[in-house]
Amino acid sequence: MPAQSIALLFVAAAIALLWLAVRYLLPWLLDRDTAVPEGAVHSVDILERVAAEGSLRTDSWQLEPSHRAPSDPYTPEQAHIAMQQHRDCGTDLCAAKHSAFWTLVDAGHAVPDARVER
């Protein structure tokens, strides 16, 4: 009988502690995100900035010189070399590869996917 009383006392104490945690500690934990440190940048702002910086790469004046489109159109031979040099680039972000690809298409050396727009 005394063992059951001790067990009941421990269960009652555990329930009381759990109630106190839910009553006082949980609301405090949930309200902590409202206190932002001074000078902190929210993660949404960081993600928007990264997306904006990624979209800036499409402007040729902001690209590294090696990724800019040539001032004179490529010849098909130059376009082949440019495609090899920029094999890791995408045609949507690299103006040099974009220009080389469409030079090859115009020369009949490459066939774009039917979904691709110039």
Q: Please write the tens of the pLDDT for every residue from 67-103.
A: 888 889 999 999 999 999 999 888 888 889 999 999 9
pLDDT at residue 33, rounded to an integer: 59
Domain contains 40: no
* Residues 20 and 62 reside in one and the same domain: no
Residues 96 and 61 in one domain: yes
Question: 21 and 65, same structural domain?
Answer: no
pLDDT at 82: 93
For the record, the structure tokens of 61 come out as 């004046």
pTM of the model: 0.47
Same domain, 58 and 105: yes
Residue partners of 62: CB distance under 8 A and separation at least 6: 56
- At 78, list the tokens: 């130059």
Same domain, residue pair 69 and 117: yes
Q: Same structural domain for residues 106 and 57?
A: yes
Q: Is residue 35 scored above 70 in pLDDT?
A: no
Q: What φ, ψ does residue 17 adopt, rounded to 5°?
A: -65, -40
How many domains is the chain built from?
A: 2
Q: Is 53's pLDDT higher than 80?
A: no
- 109 lies in the same domain as 79: yes
Q: Nearest 5°: CA angle at 118, between 77 and 56?
A: 95
Helix ranges, the chain (H) = 2-20, 26-30, 43-56, 76-85, 95-106
Residue 39: inside a domain, yes or no?
no
Full residue range of the structural domain in which residue 95 is found: 51-118
Judgement on whether residues 69 and 102 belong to the same structural domain of the protein = yes
Angstrom distance (rounded) from CA 109 to CA 111: 7
Asked whether the predicted pLDDT for residue 3 surpasses 90, the reply is no
In this prediction, residue 104 has a pLDDT band, given cuts at 50, 70 and 90, of very high
Q: How high does pLDDT run on average in the chain? A: 82
Rounded (10°) angle between helices 95-106 and 76-85: 140
- Residue 57 makes CB contacts below 8 A (sequence gap 6+) with 63, 93
- Clarify whether residues 60 and 10 are in a common domain: no
